[in-house]
Structure 1
Amino acid sequence: MDALVRLAKDDMAAVDALIIARMQSDVPVIPMLAEHLVSAGGKRLRPLLTVAAARAIGATGAIEGARKLAASVEFIHTATLLHDDIVDGSEMRRGKVAAHLIWGAASSVLVGDFLFARAFELMVETDSLRALGILATASSVIAEGEVLQLTRAHDLNLDQDTYLQIIRAKTAELFAAAAESGAVGAGATEEQVKALRDYGMALGIAFQLADDALDYGSDTATLGKNAGDDFNEGKATLPLLLAVQRTKGKEDLFWDRVITKGERTPEDFTRARELILGTGAVEATLDAAGDYADWAKAALSVLPASDWRSALQDLADFAVSRAA
């Protein structure tokens, strides 16, 4: 994604400045906790999408509105991470100790709420009611996705359609809203707005599928979180679901113990990983991710040819290749 980062360098510098300015508070723990996660970096994919969408439809000169929307998107994403890590009991985030283990769950929840509020303040400042509606809807959809995932946790009978419904809501919706709001804020045509939303949705699904594959096919240093976190949290992701199907009648007792009952030993992840890799479940998940990446690239065909469009196409390939 080097090309996109290079093209968006000035825009993202402005977005980062906004983020730093708007996470300040007279209550010391708020900026400390927020900075712990924000300063850890990450790829900033979602705000990148917002400014790239605005630029890809031909926006030139000052795009202050798109930059504010990009900062809003990052605040929404960061808030959901703070909340998710508590729900999941995660120990690491972006290569750092999870915030709730340092400041406590209560502070993390409340700082997440603070960041949501800051996000909506920024949206209002753009004077774009439509963009506000897009990101407000995305926030509620993300929450629905998280609740749906929670209610179907440890469910080995989870079908792939429901699994895709979960990742569309909890991950891909913010990708889609990030791109769509950037296009709307820059005055894109309805055809371009739809194309960029479709691109963001397909990209987000590809990204999450690759993430799910990485949990079994990579290591902690690459992930920025502990390898095997999905397994240790009992999450029924696509690689695991495929492996369960492909070992049916042979490993039912193992899967039932470690996922349904949650009775896991430190050695169980090694065995689960061997089964998942051995059945080709990781490769099948990456194949599905590749299909969504192709659909994302195809959606961009209505945009004018430019370095920005090419960089967005490359980003779709990157979403999958990082897990290959």
Structure 2
Amino acid sequence: MSPAAPPADDTYIPLLEAELLRWVGSGDSLLELACLDALFPPGKLLRPVLCIESAKAVGGTADQVLAFAAGIECLHVASLVHDDIIDQDPVRRGRASTAEQYGLAEALVAGDGLSMAGVAALLSTGPAERALQAARVTVDALRHMCHGLMRETEIRGDLTCGVPTVLNIMQAKTAVLTGAACQSGAILAGATPQQHQALRQYGEQLGMAFQIRDDLLPYTAEDQDTGKTATSDVANLQPTLPVLLAYQAADEADRDRLAAVFRGSTDPVTAHREVLAVLTRTGALNETARMASSCAEQARAALTGLPDSAQLAELATSAADRRR
């Protein structure tokens, strides 16, 4: 079986965990407890690992970017806390979401607290000129992410929004921040403009592969493997990429089935089962997987000429094949 998730160099994990604790605290207040609950046990740590590996790919070291990498993880997890509130999803990483465990108001504040800790960590890195450039890249990516998240709420229930619209949302919501993690690591390590732009391109394509696979997981993995509720997207009437590919390829009868589900008149378990049947009949599952593999291949191609990018290439391969 392919790796379940992009592999991280195990030597980074304790370093990143210690750095996260340094910026968030040890749990002496309700805010710290809620933030720590959202951060630990950590997920894939994809973005901070990418930041470190990108620095190494241009001759840098983990120490140069460790605080910045931890800051990016804080900002990413903050977006997940708020995303679960938007989706009313009770599960995150196979356990109760922050809102489910602490309450809605507390989760909102925890998301804000993680964001502020993340910004502080970004700005603590040196040299100052490089840190400022990297922070600008990251903050600009976060602005794009907010636009993507808002646009995602606007298309709920709309099966006619089209595949390009959802791909643009993925780019803004996920790919731009993944690209920023890579580009920032390279900037902090003193990369040339050509090198850090190549790594940004790599990261964005990797982010697309990762998000496309994420859209597939509710239909290809068990709940315990995805770490969240498989019915979440259909319950929220969210037209994800495989659903739109199926709607585009479906005959009239299957389009009518999808339309009925996305009118919200079907219970989530039945809706999920009916959508899965349509995705299978239309070949949308295979087409979505093909698109993820194509993005991963483009990510690997962007690494051409970088001196130490073998681990980044492996991350791209694993992202396209992920099962959770």
TM-score norm. by structure 1 comes to 0.93
1:100 aligns with 99
2:261 aligns with 258
Separation in structure 2 between the aligned mates of residue 149 and residue 136 of structure 1, nearest angstrom: 20
| Contact 1:40–1:95, Cα closer than 8 Å, also in 2 | no
Residue type of the alignment partner of 1:175: T
Gaps of 5+ in 2: none
Residue type of the alignment partner of 1:14: L
Return the offset for 1:141.
0.9
Return the offset for 1:3.
9.3
2:270 aligns with 267
1:10 and 2:22 aligned: no
Separation in structure 2 between the aligned mates of residue 125 and residue 35 of structure 1, nearest angstrom: 20
Separation in structure 1 between the aligned mates of residue 298 and residue 19 of structure 2, nearest angstrom: 33
1:181 aligns with 184
2:48 aligns with 47
2:162 aligns with 159
Gaps of 5+ in 1: none
| Contact 2:148–2:173, Cα closer than 8 Å, also in 1 | yes
Return the offset for 1:40.
2.7
Q: For residues 22-171 of structure 1, what are the structure 2 equivalents within 5 Å?
A: 22-24=23-25, 28-60=29-61, 63-126=62-125, 127=128, 128-171=131-174
Return the offset for 1:51.
0.5
| Contact 1:73–1:119, Cα closer than 8 Å, also in 2 | yes
Farther off after superposition, 47-56 or 32-41: 32-41
Residue type of the alignment partner of 2:241: L
Return the offset for 1:26.
7.7
Return the offset for 1:104.
1.1
2:175 aligns with 172
Q: For residues 199-210 of structure 1, what are the structure 2 equivalents within 5 Å?
A: 199-210=202-213
2:316 aligns with 316
Return the offset for 1:28.
1.8
Separation in structure 1 between the aligned mates of residue 13 and residue 65 of structure 2, nearest angstrom: 11
Return the offset for 1:193.
0.2
Secondary structure of the structure 2 residue equivalent to 1:41: coil
| Contact 1:3–1:311, Cα closer than 8 Å, also in 2 | no
Residue type of the alignment partner of 2:60: A
Q: For residues 166-245 of structure 1, what are the structure 2 equivalents within 5 Å?
A: 166-245=169-248
Q: Describe the shift of the 1:119–1:225 C-alpha distance in structure 2 as closer, same or farther (beyond 3 A).
A: same
The runs of at least 4 aligned residues of structure 1 exceeding 4 Å deviation read 1-4
Residue type of the alignment partner of 1:28: S
Return the offset for 1:50.
0.4
2:288 aligns with 285
| Contact 2:78–2:114, Cα closer than 8 Å, also in 1 | yes
| Contact 1:4–1:312, Cα closer than 8 Å, also in 2 | no
Residue type of the alignment partner of 1:289: A
Separation in structure 2 between the aligned mates of residue 21 and residue 269 of structure 1, nearest angstrom: 42
Deviation digits for residues 23-56 of structure 1 (CA, Å, limit 9, x no counterpart)? 1278622122122221132111010000010011
Separation in structure 2 between the aligned mates of residue 113 and residue 239 of structure 1, nearest angstrom: 32
Q: Give me the identity figure in percent.
A: 32
| Contact 2:257–2:274, Cα closer than 8 Å, also in 1 | no
Q: Describe the shift of the 1:5–1:25 C-alpha distance in structure 2 as closer, same or farther (beyond 3 A).
A: closer
